[in-house]
Amino acid sequence: MKAHILTITLNPTVDYATSAPRVIPGPKLRCTEPHIDPGGGGINVSRAIKLLGGQSTALVAIGGATGAHLLQLLALEGVATVAFQGPGETRQSVSVTEEESGDQYRFVMPGPSWKEDDVPRALTTVDQATGDGTLVVLSGSQPPGVAKEFPSILAGHVAGRGARLIVDTSGPALFNLAEAPREALYVLRMDGEEGEELDGRKQPTPEDTARFAERLVAEGVARIVIVARGADGSVLSTKDGSWHSVGAEVPVVSKVGAGDSFVGAFTLALAREWPIETCLQFGVAAASAAVTTEATRLCDREMTESLMKDCRLRKL
């Protein structure tokens, strides 16, 4: 691997996954022993990179006993970390699978609210951990109190360090990036629904998605724009054109972690300096592998590599 990878998680979580015969209101629900994982977008990207045979550093805001537990879980998985003090107590999330139906119920806490001085401390930590050529990945939800402009502010810091920023975001932060283009943004990824909302129209075909992504590239929003299309894979656009890689046909157990697996695989391939269309194909294969696993188990290296041939790639 030629480029260092740094992932950023401002709103991490400790994920508890369990199951119960039925999920109904009223009585106590007797659950199975929980499976406990470190969670949050950037953390899961680093975990996916590790599972795929790569290395990265996870920069994480932590707080309290739950934050200490989170760092222990990451250490057990062999993920290198740079921790800085965040406000309050690190959040927890719970997913419960109803054994009778197979339905999954996910309870996601908001996380502690950030104050005015918390963001500069985070940016200082990023500056210290970022060097020339670093691939910096910002993924996951923003904590309460963090302004929608944070990804744009981070882009300026990353550019000043000679690094490249990859952002996987949604909601107000995504709209802010699209409305205030910064050349420092290297990759912007979003889901199909978010792309349609930004575009103001439906995108029934990969060609429709490519048209939208190419417009964002032309407007200077990012050098590379990726739009996920669910089971139909993903579309990637650059100034040199657009590509579509379709997902492999696999049994779907849980869609949790598919997006983070994509970002992890795509970033790892970028760090290895693979052709951009192969990076896309590798990301789609990792997402396909991830949906075959339970809860937050993410992608498997052997399966991801074997699924590459089934993730058909074409230039649009």
Catalytically annotated residues:
260
Task: Report whether 134 contacts 5 (CB < 8 A).
Answer: yes
Helix (H) or strand (E) holding 176: helix 171-179
Tokens of 32: 């199975």
CA distance 229 to 206: 8
Task: Report whether 46 contacts 264 (CB < 8 A).
Answer: yes
Tokens of 250: 């696999």
Interstrand relation of 185-191 and 224-228 (parallel, antiparallel or unpaired): parallel
| Residue 101 vs residues 33, 64, 95: alpha-carbon distances, Å | 19, 37, 15
Strands of the sheet with 104-108, listed across from one edge: 35-39, 13-20, 91-98, 104-108
